[in-house]
Amino acid sequence: MGIKPIDITNKSFNSKFKGYDRDEVDDFLDQIALEVEKLTQENRSLEKEVKQANDKLSYFNELKDSLNQSIIVAQDTADKLKENAIKESDLAIQQSQAQSEDILAHANKMSDELITGATNKANQILSEASERARQLAVETDDLKKKTRIFHRNLSVLLESQLQIVQSDEWDEILKPFGAYVDSSHQAFRQVLDAVEAANGLESTSPAVNVKPNFDNLPKAKANIKQPEIKVSTTREMPNKPVNPTENEEKHEKNEETKKLNKVERAARPKVK
């Protein structure tokens, strides 16, 4: 710019007659100087912005060229990668087909072996189950035989015990004690009648004098005799053949017989 704001401010004019007012001219020149200064600053700012825009434009142009080059390189790389991928996919398909055929052959072989093994195992299990069923049938029959033998022996034992319980010897044992005392012993008889009445038993002695005669009591005691009571300590068992398998059962029966004999001896009345 040829004229600067400072030039306008320092500008002076010659005076003439009937010329312009100096103060107005100076004021106007000051305003023009301010406007020119403002325009100058704006122009510098615009020049700076234009320079920045040009720099950006250059950068973007270079970036565009670089991107174009990158696109070209990427396209070439993509074409090569696509070609390599096609080749690798074809190779992978061939390998997978070969592997699938091998796997299928191996699976068929394994399935045949498993079917054969399972069939053999099933046959073995069936054979063992049949043998076990046969053994169970034999054991069941043997158990039934032993059960029948036990039932028969138990029946015989119960019948023999019932015969012992229903025998006359038990009637003799269970007879009231007063039946063993002679009726002549009046005092002792009255005592026994009182005991039997207290126990709710029917008196087994004839009517006697209410007033007891204690004069003859020692003599009566001396004449008391213990009745003879016969109790069988053995049981008659029916004759039957001895089975070797019944040894244990016979031993148990002998133990039961001993226990019954102890009970019979304990049940005998004791007369003093």
In order along its 272 residues, the chain shows pLDDT tens digits of: 566 667 677 766 666 666 767 777 778 888 888 888 888 889 889 999 999 999 999 899 888 888 888 889 888 888 999 899 999 999 999 999 999 999 999 999 999 999 999 999 999 999 999 898 989 999 999 999 999 999 999 989 888 888 887 777 767 666 665 555 555 556 556 666 776 677 665 544 444 443 444 444 444 333 434 444 343 434 444 444 445 455 666 776 777 677 666 656 655 555 44
Question: Residue 166 has what pLDDT?
Answer: 78
pLDDT at position 223 is 41
Range of the domain at 176: 168-267
Asked, for residue 71, whether it belongs to a domain, the answer is: yes
Per-residue confidence (pLDDT) for residue 125, from 0 to 100: 92
Positive or negative, the Cα torsion across 198, 200, 204, 206? positive
Please tell me whether residues 6 and 109 are part of one structural domain. Answer: yes
Does residue 86 sit in the same domain as residue 197?
no
Position 86 in a domain: yes
Instruction: Say what the pLDDT of residue 46 is.
Output: 93
> Does residue 21 sit in the same domain as residue 108?
yes
Output the pTM of the full model.
Answer: 0.27
Q: How far is CA 181 from CA 189, 219, 265, in A?
A: 7, 13, 22
pLDDT on residue 115: 92
Cβ contacts of residue 257 below 8 Å, gap of 6+?
A: 235
For residue 235, being part of any structural domain is answered with yes
Task: Kindly give, in sequence order, each residue whose CB lies less than 8 Å from that of residue 236, ignoring residues fewer than 6 positions away.
Answer: 160
Structural domain tally of the chain? 2
Within a 10 A sphere around the Cβ of 211, how many other Cβ atoms?
9
